[in-house]
Amino acid sequence: MSSNLETAAAVERNEARHEALSARKAKFLAKKMENQLYEVVNIEGKNLGCVCLTDIKKGTLILKEKPQCPDIENEADEMWSKDLFMRLLQNFQTMNPTDREKYLKLYSRHTMEELHKKLDLSGKDPTISDLILKLYGIYETNKFKGGVGIQAARFNHSCTSNAEGNWNEDESTREIRAVKKIKKGEEITICYLSQDAYMKNYKVRQEIIKESWDFDCSCELCQQEKVENCDNFYAKYDQLNQEADKINEDNGQYMIFPESYLRLGNLYKDMYKLAKEKKTSKTFIIFEILQNGFCAVMSGYLHAKDRNDLKNKEVFKKECDVFINAAIPIGEIVLPDKDVRNWKMRKDNLDLWIEQEIAKKVEECKQAGL
């Protein structure tokens, strides 16, 4: 009798333990789902993509990832060599089994037949050569600055994306942040285009995307510009950009103070207005327009300072502030914290920031033996 009672009590204890474990597991999964901003699902016409599980505010850090396959190329590499293939294979072999499996499932725009024609690996074990070619195809299709991140590679493209990726140099991670409010159930997209292709017209963008990733972009912007011809708009931006390049020719040795510096500043302001109107990449706006505009008027500021020209020094200081004040709120949405702090330092004390930048460049030259 006693034995039966003990058995019944043990069963009850086990059941209670299982219930407690199940409750904890459910709580853990609920918490995980609460913290998880998106899930990877099948999207019609796109294969896999990332869809919001909850509303995401502008500026939210969606993903921070260290590439599982780090960048294998360097400035000395002129073409794909045996060394490069070995680096790629070594990177793959150092991944954990789960990441290797996920990497091999990433999209490659190249067929094996194309890869065999493009890259001669004759004389190698067919199994090894096929693996290397597959790794190469995936790498070439999915790499960003820093290499290939498996999670980052799951975000699909849009020319007017609701999220943007940037490389965090200090932490060697790729960060993807929301640049617009993204609603639950909406796909999260990033832009694959390089900096020099953002303010290009529909036809040029389509050609670049087809050549590089082998698909036709049907994002909101492309659908609009397929019907509405915006060539004149982009031509106006190109004209401004070309004039700026002409002033900057030969490291700016033909620039006239203060006219050329003021003109450059105005050109970049006009480019900023056009890029903002087109709602193009915030990263592009900061690095290709506001940074260049700031550097132009900062050079004018330094020339005025050297000449003890107090009037123009004040003029160029105000011009610097125009670009700084435009960059900070955009940077707070899309840039790593260190980059935002850098812009804020310029605002707080421009002269000190300039001194520190000059000291940094001198130190870099010393280390490089220049």
223 domain residue, yes or no = no
206 domain residue, yes or no = no
15 domain residue, yes or no = yes
Distance of CA 346 to the CA centre of its chain: 24
212 domain residue, yes or no = no
Number of structural domains, the chain?
3
Q: What is the pLDDT of residue 16?
A: 60
Angle (nearest 5°) at CA 291 between 304 and 76: 115
Local confidence band at 119 (pLDDT 50, 70, 90 cut-offs): confident
Q: Whole-angstrom Cα distance, residue 150 to residue 50?
A: 13
Q: Provide mean pLDDT across the span 351-357.
A: 96
Q: What is the pLDDT of residue 112?
A: 85
Q: Are residues 63 and 167 in the same domain?
A: yes
Q: Are residues 158 and 275 in the same domain?
A: no
Q: What is the pLDDT of residue 31?
A: 43
Q: Are residues 15 and 63 in the same domain?
A: no
Q: Are residues 96 and 121 in the same domain?
A: yes
Q: What is the pLDDT of residues 282-340, one digit of tens each?
A: 999 999 999 999 999 999 999 999 999 999 999 999 999 999 999 999 999 999 999 99
Q: Are residues 31 and 82 in the same domain?
A: no
Q: Are residues 23 and 67 in the same domain?
A: no
Q: Are residues 358 and 325 in the same domain?
A: yes
Q: What is the pLDDT of residues 135-169, one digit of tens each?
A: 999 999 999 999 999 999 999 999 999 999 999 99
DSSP secondary structure code for residue 114 in this structure: H
222 domain residue, yes or no = no
Q: What is the pLDDT of residue 78?
A: 54
Q: What is the pLDDT of residues 249-280, one digit of tens each?
A: 877 788 999 999 999 999 999 999 999 999 99
224 domain residue, yes or no = no
Question: Residue 13's domain spans which residues?
Answer: 2-35
Local confidence band at 75 (pLDDT 50, 70, 90 cut-offs): low
| Residues sharing a CB contact under 8 Å with residue 158, sequence separation 6 or more, in sequence order | 189, 190, 191, 217, 219, 220, 221
Query: What does the block give as tokens for 4?
Result: 């039966």
Q: What is the pLDDT of residue 30?
A: 40
Query: Taking 70 as the threshold, does the pLDDT of residue 109 lie above it?
Result: yes
Question: Are 129 and 121 contacting, i.e. CB atoms less than 8 angstroms apart?
Answer: yes
Task: Identify the residue with better confidence: 78 or 231.
Answer: 231
250 domain residue, yes or no = yes
Per this entry, what is the length of the chain? 370
Q: Are residues 180 and 266 in the same domain?
A: no
Q: Are residues 68 and 134 in the same domain?
A: yes
Q: What is the pLDDT of residue 291?
A: 98
**pLDDT, the chain, mean:** 89
Query: Taking 80 as the threshold, does the pLDDT of residue 219 lie above it?
Result: yes
> What is the CATH classification number for the domain harbouring 58?
3.90.1410.10
Cα-only R_g, the chain? 27
Share of the chain above pLDDT 70, in %: 87
Query: Taking 80 as the threshold, does the pLDDT of residue 192 lie above it?
Result: yes
Q: Are residues 177 and 302 in the same domain?
A: no
Local confidence band at 80 (pLDDT 50, 70, 90 cut-offs): low
Query: Could you give the 3-state DSSP secondary structure of residue 86?
Result: helix
Q: Provide mean pLDDT across the span 198-217.
A: 96
State the sign of the Cα–Cα–Cα–Cα dihedral 222, 223, 227, 228.
Answer: negative
Q: Are residues 85 and 144 in the same domain?
A: yes
Query: What does the block give as tokens for 15?
Result: 């059941």
Q: Are residues 52 and 190 in the same domain?
A: yes
Q: What is the pLDDT of residues 10-69, one digit of tens each?
A: 545 665 665 556 556 444 444 444 469 999 999 988 889 999 999 999 999 999 999 999
155 domain residue, yes or no = yes
Local confidence band at 366 (pLDDT 50, 70, 90 cut-offs): confident
Q: Provide mean pLDDT across the span 89-110.
A: 95
- Residue 11: CB atoms within 10 A of its CB come to 10
